[in-house]
Amino acid sequence: MCPVVSIVVKQNHEFTTSIASTSYDKLPGITVFKLCQIVYTFTDTVVEDFTLEKLLEYEQLNGEKTTLRKAFSAILNQSEHDGDPGYVHMVLETARIILDEMNLGPASVKCLMLKNLADKGVLSREKIESEYGKPVWGLIEGIHKIERLDTKKYSTNTENFIGLLLTLSDDIRVLLIRLGMRLYDMRHISEYSPEKQNIITGETQALYIPIAHRLGLYKIKNELEDRFMRFTDPQTYALIEYKLQESKSDRDQYTADFIKPIEKQLIENGFDCELKSRVKSIPSIRRKMLTQKVDFEKVYDLFAIRVILNRTIENDAADCWKIYSLITDIYTPNPRRLRDWISFPKSTGYESLHTTVIGPEGRWVEVQVRTRRMDEIAEKGFAAHWKYKSGSTAQTRDAFYADIRDLLEKPLKALQETPISREKKALYSDEIFIFTPKGDLKRLKSGYSVLDFAFEIHSEVGSTCTGAIVNGKMVPLKHILQNGDMVKIMTSKAQKPNPGWLEIVKSPRNLARIKHALKMEAYKEADFGKEIIKNKVIQLGYEFADPLVNKLAAYFGCENIMELYQRFGEGKADLSKIKKALSEPDPGIAAAAVKEETFPDRISGMMAGKEDFVIIDPKIKSLHYQYARCCGPVPGNLIFAFVSVSQGIKIHKTTCTNAHQMITRYPYRVLEARWKEMT
């Protein structure tokens, strides 16, 4: 057995305890010294001298240099007072990130410079707005909202947390600045305490990497992913990085040899194309090794060749297939690895032909064929793995993200985000995100009240809701919730729905719930009242039937039968008046000496076909009836149907242990049931 090697890593210019260990036999061709060098390379922080004057050279900041110098002077004074020169470095580095990689403007840089001063109360809102502009305070306030979020439960509420971060501010720059700050954190992760490192890396993986991906910030997304893996799995990262470096010259030569005959064929056939070669990122390679359960050397598509047709013509799909045909004439394709997203584009709008071919030396190579138009769509985020699932809204969001992509790729003298902010505001105007006291995040429609939120939690919570504590303050049921609110619902067993609630709730589903609750409350004694009336009618020698009940409802001035039952159930009607009501002449109701049927009589009557009946088809799962669990009827059994109050029609065997009680006590709820004859 090979001895175990511990790798000691230099962080903050000092050697720390070992962070990884492995055996020699797992490091083919790599010496321990070489591996330590690789690990050191990406964990040691290199601080580059970056000054305010270098920052002010950016074209986006023209015309704002005086104000920026004033803001920078303020943070210099504060950092000297606090003894924290690192904050100045963070501001400058993060400012460079948002200028270089996001093309943001002076307002965003001022926000970075002044946020800490606002946090400490050194500068008031009024002073910032008057001296630096209201938009700057708006950005600072937006960053504060994000920083105040309790993200402890992001692992179980990831999608909702992402949605909240995307919607918390109307100004998209807030999220972009926050992404820049998080990128700075990941570049300097070794400078934080272990507890802070866990928080930063956890949030980065669950929230910020997906957000960067969805916004089309692929460069930032890839770096965050890369740095996350570097920190959390340095041993694997170092091993893959070494193997990539070791194979680079061979790979470059192989790519040139692979492309050469393709280029020749394309030119000879009159195609104007650009051919690109790219190596997958280390995290991507690692994912493929895990999903395919293979070693590095056996990863199918370690690198890919992309063929981009420059001409924009009507038959671009046909030309892509012609190019595919030329390539597969040269290299044998793997038919299982063909992906035709031109004939059948993805729902995101992505179009491309993907195939994997056997290149020289029997090596697999992925080849992608697309037009320039298709490539632009893919690069603008339409081909993101994540997508919204709401029809036209998804298209609107994709267009918004594409606008962001364009914005980031085109340098501007002064960023104008106002139209994008309006678009974003409209985009998310229909939804908000609410925190529960336990830190869970719930998605809600904009304009919904405390009562709506209570019903969204559970019908019982909604029915007993008396109000809520929102952000520490008691509010009534009708209070309209805002994005990011922390809400604790207050309940009482004595509380019941009332008609006024119908004016408070906005959700159609909650309206239906309240109406149902009010109806159930209004007729809660109806069953009891029905039994009282039925027994009295039979006692008087009449048959208990609908015409008779309708006559009673009219006599007692009730709008419907349920109101009649409820009134007698509550004891609000005089039972002795039933005799008088029935004694009045009515040709539809005839008195008879009614003998209550016995159970055997009732069963024999049903089997003789004297009753209305229900046809039961065992091949069809019906929404109108269910098989009773108490007896489990199957085709061939003698059966009957029982109409329950709350669960609809139940099918029972006639020999069911509950049959006697149901048929004798509630004969008016019993129907004959027959199995459908099978041919």
Tens digits of residue pLDDT in 358-372: 888 878 888 999 988
Residue 352 in tokens: 């491309």
Residues in the chain, how many?
Answer: 679
Residue 599 has pLDDT above 60, yes or no: no
Task: Write b or e for each residue in 105-132: b if 16 or more Cβ atoms lie within 10 A of its Cβ, otherwise e.
Answer: bbbbbbbbbbbbbbeeeebeeeebeeeb
CA dihedral 282, 287, 293, 297 (to 10 degrees): -20
Instruction: Give, as one character, the DSSP assignment of residue 61.
Output: G
Helix (H, G, I), strand (E, B) or coil at 603: helix
**332/27: higher pLDDT:** 332
Counting residues of the chain whose pLDDT is more than 70, the rounded percentage is: 72
Q: What letter represents residue 604's amino acid? A: S
Residue 470 in tokens: 């929102």
Residue 625 has pLDDT above 70, yes or no: yes
Please choose, from the candidates 346, 253, 269, the residue with its C-alpha nearest in 3D space to the C-alpha of residue 307: 269
Please say whether the beta carbons of 558 and 577 come within 8 A: no
Tens digits of residue pLDDT in 392-427: 444 554 455 455 545 444 433 333 434 334 434 433
Q: What letter represents residue 622's amino acid? A: S
Please say whether the beta carbons of 323 and 307 come within 8 A: yes
Please choose, from the candidates 60, 56, 69, the residue with its C-alpha nearest in 3D space to the C-alpha of residue 101: 60
Measured distance CA(485)–CA(450) in Å, rounded:
11
Q: Measured in whole angstroms, how far is the alpha carbon of residue 163 from the centre of its chain?
A: 7
Residue 256 has pLDDT above 80, yes or no: yes
Measured distance CA(627)–CA(649) in Å, rounded:
9
Grade residue 227 by pLDDT with cuts at 50, 70 and 90: very high
Q: What letter represents residue 210's amino acid? A: P
Measured distance CA(477)–CA(465) in Å, rounded:
8
Q: Name 81's Cβ contacts closer than 8 Å, sequence gap at least 6.
A: none
Grade residue 43 by pLDDT with cuts at 50, 70 and 90: very low
Q: For strands 487-491 and 465-470, give the pairing.
A: antiparallel
How crowded is residue 328: how many other Cβ atoms within 10 Å of its Cβ?
15
Helix (H, G, I), strand (E, B) or coil at 355: strand
Sheet containing strand 670-675, strands side by side: 613-616, 670-675, 639-643, 649-653, 625-627
Q: Measured in whole angstroms, how far is the alpha carbon of residue 357 from the centre of its chain?
A: 37
Tens digits of residue pLDDT in 85-109: 778 888 899 888 888 877 788 888 9
Q: Read off the pTM.
A: 0.52
The pLDDT of residue 88 is: 86
Residue 502 in tokens: 């119908």
Lowest mean pLDDT among 85-99, 456-470, 513-527, 532-546: 513-527
The pLDDT of residue 369 is: 94
Please say whether the beta carbons of 224 and 277 come within 8 A: no
The pLDDT of residue 301 is: 67
Measured distance CA(324)–CA(266) in Å, rounded:
10
Residue 381 has pLDDT above 60, yes or no: no
Taking CB atoms within 8 Å and a gap of at least 24, the contacts of 158-161 are 158/206, 158/207, 158/210, 160/433, 160/441, 160/442, 160/443, 161/206, 161/207, 161/433, 161/441
Q: What letter represents residue 253's amino acid? A: Q
Tens digits of residue pLDDT in 259-297: 999 999 999 998 999 998 888 888 888 888 887 788 887
**339/86: higher pLDDT:** 339
Residue 591 has pLDDT above 80, yes or no: no
Please choose, from the candidates 62, 53, 58, the residue with its C-alpha nearest in 3D space to the C-alpha of residue 101: 58
Grade residue 59 by pLDDT with cuts at 50, 70 and 90: confident
Please say whether the beta carbons of 45 and 191 come within 8 A: yes
Helix (H, G, I), strand (E, B) or coil at 171: coil
DSSP β-bridge partners for residue 14:
11
Measured distance CA(451)–CA(504) in Å, rounded:
7
